Structure 1
């Protein structure tokens, strides 16, 4: 949660987001993040893990196809939807934030790039705008359920806070396609790490 807040602030310095839009998108994500988090803590952890792996595999396939298709066709302009549909992305991001905690950011960025024509870095910043409040609400739901290990979580948060600013600065310098490729590689690594051992 603190990492998401700092990352959003850093991205917003490069890609300013109107306060009204930020509040609207954040409020929409909250509506669905709490019930999704409650559902997640009620599920067996093996079931939740495999649902998450399945989601990541689908996302890897979709993003891989998107990168390949654009390269093969000379990178045609993506389909652009009206900005009035942005709250729908917030609904999806809030649900995935509640269910998988990190899922909101991983699903909102591809939606913003593929459906609304955002550059990857700008999509990541706007995606964070959607999941800052839902991440906090989800953290509250997980804390209430007694599944937050603060002795482990606080050092992890401190470690993340120490590197986020450099990561955001690097994201601003990378070409759009390369940034998407790195995002895809990290998703693949996450899938591998999530697979049961033995």
Structure 2
């Protein structure tokens, strides 16, 4: 690799590193940050930006999920059922999204994220949501996470994590581990679809992915160093910031 090529790729490597770190910390793919940047800074259309971001997201999600599973083992059967429901819902929602007003969808998504953020930051206790819903129904969270992925291309983990905490009483890190199991196959299926349509810039996507893979572990380690209450509040702040960013971008 020549020095000039390395310098030209450095911004992508650094951006990928930052997104990989955040992905490891919060159990998300980072697409909700990468997509608008690729569209506004690099002039990509929406489909190309989403496809390119997926090249980064898939390996980052895989690395983060593996590390979360080693630290927070969850039943593989539950994770598999959640992934299947989410993937099927993603496909159906993606078909539905073709005829819907994307501006209205993004406004609804931003409002939903704001409500979730308030619900997470409001409780005074540091415990989970009390497990008021039977664990056998956890795969139904895939309907919400997969719906977000299909309709908007992002947000599966952002939606699934707080629902797993509030409805099923999981702690923050276990919820993020399951959310990664949901989003990973959805993102892989989406990448295949975008690649077939030619809406992927593999060079930029690979640079983002390399940067992200270098920093995912640091984000996961920091997530497990923070107390549960701190992680929940940080996640709530991230949800609120994402909601504002979606509103500002549209």
Answer yes or no: same fold by TM over 0.5. yes
The answer to whether the 8 A contact 1:109-1:123 is kept is yes
1:101 to 2:153 alignment: yes
Helix, strand or coil for the counterpart of 1:162?
helix
How far apart, in 2, do the equivalents of 1:77 and 1:135 lie?
Answer: 28
Deviation at 1:136, TM superposition (A): 0.9
* Aligned length in residues: 192
Could you tell me the TM-score, scaled by structure 2's length? 0.67
The list of structure 1 runs, each at least 4 consecutive aligned residues, that deviate by more than 4 angstroms after superposition, is 73-77
Flag structure 2 segments of 5+ consecutive residues without an equivalent: 1-57
How far apart, in 2, do the equivalents of 1:184 and 1:154 lie?
Answer: 30
The answer to whether the 8 A contact 2:120-2:162 is kept is no
Matches within 5 A, 1:11-160: 11-40=68-97, 42=98, 47-48=101-102, 51-68=105-122, 70-71=123-124, 78-160=130-212
Per-residue CA deviations over 1:114-135 (Å, capped at 9, x if unaligned) read 0000001110001111221111
1:196 to 2:232 alignment: no
Per-residue CA deviations over 1:120-178 (Å, capped at 9, x if unaligned) read 11100011112211111122223334433323222122222111111111111212221
How far apart, in 1, do the equivalents of 2:128 and 2:220 lie?
Answer: 27
The answer to whether the 8 A contact 1:37-1:138 is kept is no
Flag structure 1 segments of 5+ consecutive residues without an equivalent: none
CA RMSD of aligned residues (A): 2.5
Per-residue CA deviations over 1:35-83 (Å, capped at 9, x if unaligned) read 323444x368xx4355234313322233224422x12x79795352111
The answer to whether the 8 A contact 1:15-1:122 is kept is yes
